[in-house]
Amino acid sequence: MIKPVLVISCPASSRSGYGDHSRDLIRSLISIDKYKVQIIDQPWGSCDRSELSDPEITSRFIHKMDSKPDVWMQVTVPSEFQPIGKYNIGITAGMETTMVSTPWIDGVNRMDLVIVPSEHSKEVFEKTIYDKVDDKTKQKVDELKCTTPIEVLFEGLDLTKFFKTKSIVKSIADTLSEIKESDCYLFAGHWMQGEFGHDRKDVGGMLKTFLEAFKNKSPKNQPAIILKTSSATFSVTDREQILEKIEKIKLSVDSKKLPNVYLLHGNLTEEELNSLYNHPKVKAMLSFTHGEGYGRPLLEFGITGKPVIAPNWSGHKDFLSKNGIMLPGELKQVHPSVVWENVIIKESSWFYVDYGYATGILKDMENNYSKYLEKSRKQTQYIKDNFSLDMMTEQFRIQLDKHVPSFEIKLPKLEELQTYE
Residue type, 366: E
DSSP lists the bridge partners of residue 152 as 116
Taking a C-beta distance cutoff of 8 angstroms, is the pair 223, 181 a contact?
yes
Question: Tell me, what amino acid is at 390?
Answer: D
Express each pLDDT in 350-372 by its tens digit. Answer: 999 999 999 999 999 999 999 99
**pTM for this entry:** 0.93
Q: How far is CA 356 from the centre of its chain?
A: 27
pLDDT tens readout for residues 196-240: 999 999 999 999 999 999 999 998 889 999 999 998 778 899 999
User: Side chain identity at 56, as an amino acid letter?
Assistant: E
- Tell me if residue 164 falls in helix, strand or coil: coil
Q: What's the whole-number mean pLDDT along residues 105-121? A: 98
Relative to beta strand 224-228, strand 261-264 is parallel
β-strand 71-75 against 113-116: which pairing, if any? unpaired
What pLDDT sits at residue 189? 95
Instruction: Tell how far CA 246 is from the center of its chain.
Output: 24
According to DSSP, the β-strands at 87-91 and 71-75 are parallel
| Average model confidence (pLDDT) across the chain | 94
Q: How many residues does the chain have?
A: 421
Cβ-based neighbour number of residue 330 at 10 Å: 10
pLDDT (0 to 100) of residue 16: 83
Task: Give the number of other Cβ atoms within 10 Å of residue 34's Cβ.
Answer: 15
Q: Residue 348 pairs with which residues in a beta bridge?
A: none
SS3 171: helix
Please check the confidence at residue 410 and state whether its pLDDT lies above 90. no
Enumerate domains of the chain plus CATH numbers: 5-156+389-403 (3.40.50.2000), 170-386 (3.40.50.2000)
